[in-house]
A and B are shown apart, each in its own frame.
Chain A
Amino acid sequence: MAVRELEHLRYRVVGQPVPRHDAWDKALGRTAYAADWSMPGMLIGKVLRSPYPSARIRRIDTSRARTLPGVAAVLTAQDVPRNTLWTDVPGQTTEVGPLRAKLCVLAEDRVRYQGEPVALVAAETEELAEEALRLIQVDYEPTPGVFDPLEALAPGAPLVHPDSGSNLLARWSVRTGDVAAAFGRADVIVEGTYRTQFVDHAYLEPEAGVAWIDADGVLTIRVATQVIEHFRDVAEVLGLPHNRVRVIGPYVGGGFGGKEDVTVEVFLGLLAWHTKRPVKMVWTRQESLLARPKRHPFFMRYRTGALRTGELVAQEIELFADAGAYALLSALVLLYATTVACGPYRVPNVSVEARAVYTNNPPTSAMRGFGAMQVVFAYEQQMDRLARELGMDPVDLRVRNALRKGDRIPIGQVLETHVALEEVARRAWETLGPPEPPPAPHLRVGRGLACNMQPYGRIVWLHDWASAWVGFEMDGSVLIRTGAPDVGAGQASSLCQIAAEVLGVPVERVSIHISDSALTPLAGTTTATRQLLMSGNAVLQAATQLRDQILRVAAELLEAPAPDLWIEDEAVRAPGGQSIPLVRVLKECARVGVPRSAFATYHAPAGDPIDLERGGGRVFPDFTYGAHAAEVEVDTETGAVRVRRYVACHDVGQAINPQSVEGQIQGGAAMGIGYALMEQVVLEQGHNLTTSFATYLIPSAQEVPDITPILVESGEGMGPFGARGIGEPPIGPPAAAIANAIFDAVGVRVSELPIRPEVVARALHRLE
Chain B
Amino acid sequence: MRERTEVEVSFELNGTPRHLRVDAHRTLLSVLRDHLGVLDVKEGCSEGVCGACTVLLDDRPVSSCLVLIPRIHGRRVTTLTGLAVEGKPHPLQEAFVRFGAVQCGFCTPGMILTACAYVRAHSGVTREALRRALAGNLCRCTGYVKILDAVEAYARSVRDGG
A interface residue numbers (CB < 8 A to B): 17, 19-20, 22-33, 35-36, 127, 131, 201-206, 251-254, 256, 282, 284-285, 487-490, 659-660, 662-663, 666-671, 692-694, 698, 700-702, 704, 706-707
Contacts and interface: CB of A to CB of B under 8 A. Distances in A.
Contacts of B136: 700
B72 interface: no
Q: Is the interface of A mostly helix, strand, loop or mixed?
A: loop
Nearest to A693: B49
Nearest to B2: A127
Contact of A694 (B47, B98, B137): B47
Contacts of A488: 103-106, 141
A123 B80 CA distance: 32
A704 B44 contact: no
A223 to B, nearest CB: 15
A33 B107 CA distance: 12
Contacts of B66: none
Contacts of B85: none
Interface string B38-61: 011011111101101000000000
Contacts of A667: 103, 140-143
A704 B43 CA distance: 24
A693 B144 contact: no
Contact of A27 (B96, B135, B142, B143): B96
A692 B80 contact: no
B47 A692 contact: yes
B36 interface: no
A488 B105 CA distance: 7
B108 interface: yes
A29 B54 CA distance: 13
Nearest to B141: A667
Interface size bucket, B side? 35 or more
17 contacts: A20-B97, A23-B100, A26-B102, A27-B105, A29-B40, A29-B79, A131-B1, A205-B42, A284-B46, A488-B103, A488-B104, A662-B146, A663-B142, A666-B146, A667-B142, A700-B135, A701-B147
A12 B40 CA distance: 35
B103 to A, nearest CB: 4
Most buried by A among B2, B112, B140: B140
B62 interface: no
A585 B132 CA distance: 57
B140 A203 contact: yes
Given A29-B109, A669-B143, A701 B134 contact: yes
B24 interface: no
Interface string B111-152: 010000000000000010011101111111111111110000
Contacts of B144: 666, 670, 700-701, 704
B93 interface: yes
Lowest 4 A-B CB distances belong to which pairs?
A488-B104, A26-B105, A29-B40, A670-B143
Q: Which of A131, A253, A254 lies at the interface centre, i.e. has the most chain B CB atoms within 10 A of its CB? A: A253
Central interface residue in B79, B109, B136, by most chain A CB within 10 Å: B109
Nearest to A205: B106
Nearest to B23: A127
Contacts of B96: 23, 27
B141 A663 contact: yes
A489 B131 contact: no
A22 B81 CA distance: 16
A76 B89 CA distance: 49
Best-buried of B39, B80, B107 by chain A (most CB within 10 Å): B39
Nearest to B147: A701
A354 B98 CA distance: 46
A739 B44 CA distance: 32
A254 B148 contact: no
B140 A256 contact: yes
Given A488-B103, A659-B100, A660-B100, A693 B50 contact: yes
Q: Which of B94, B102, B135, B138 has the most CB of A within 10 A?
A: B102
Nearest to B106: A253
